[in-house]
Amino acid sequence: MTARSFGRKSLAGAAPAPSRIALVAGQPRSFEPIHRAKRTDEEIEARRAAFVAEERARAGPKAEEAPQEASEEALRAFKAELAPTDRSLKIAYASWFLTGLAGGHRFYLRRPITGGIQATLFFGCWGAALLEYYWAFAGLALSCLWMVADGFLVERMHRNSGRQ
């Protein structure tokens, strides 16, 4: 079986289709194995240079270095904005553990508005539960969930507590 008769049933000696002749005859194609290709180093370098020139033309004008400098300047400004805090992370975690339901850690980490909301929710629902309003237990459950979520956020709040 040869390339000319491959895929032809019971036509061992018959002439191949004209489209097959075009496929198997002629110059080696681009998917020829590299060890059979007879190219010189100059030809390879010329093809490489043409490819690089084509890619550069397709990409458009070369970008200036200014965007990189601008991003570095923005990073420096952002780092300067993050002032070191005078608050202790250990004390923040201790206040979260001891007064977390009432939002004491939020007051310590300079977040008085959300600390006040958390304290109002907790003490309001606690008072309502003492007066036998059973729907207030949902608010207490919400306070507990908020405290647990804050346990994961204390470190981030600590980092941001130095900002003015």
Mean pLDDT, to the nearest integer, of 121-148?
91
Per domain, the residue ranges of the chain are 18-59, 89-160
How many residues does this entry show for the chain? 164
64 or 153: which carries more pLDDT confidence? 153
Q: Would the pLDDT of 30 be above 90?
A: no
* Residue carrying the six token digits 């458009």: 60
Phi, psi (rounded to 5 degrees) for 58: -70, -35
Mean pLDDT, to the nearest integer, of 58-82?
68
**DSSP E strand stretches across 23-138:** none
Please report which confidence band the pLDDT of residue 59 belongs to, taking 50, 70 and 90 as the band edges. Answer: confident
Q: Would the pLDDT of 116 be above 90?
A: yes
Mean pLDDT, to the nearest integer, of 87-109?
93
Fill in the amino acid letter for 93: Y
Residue 55: the pLDDT is 82
Q: Would the pLDDT of 13 be above 80?
A: no
pTM above 0.75, yes or no: no
Cα 142 from Cα 128, distance rounded (Å) = 14
Which is nearest to 122 in space by CA: 144, 105, 107?
Answer: 144
DSSP state of 64: P
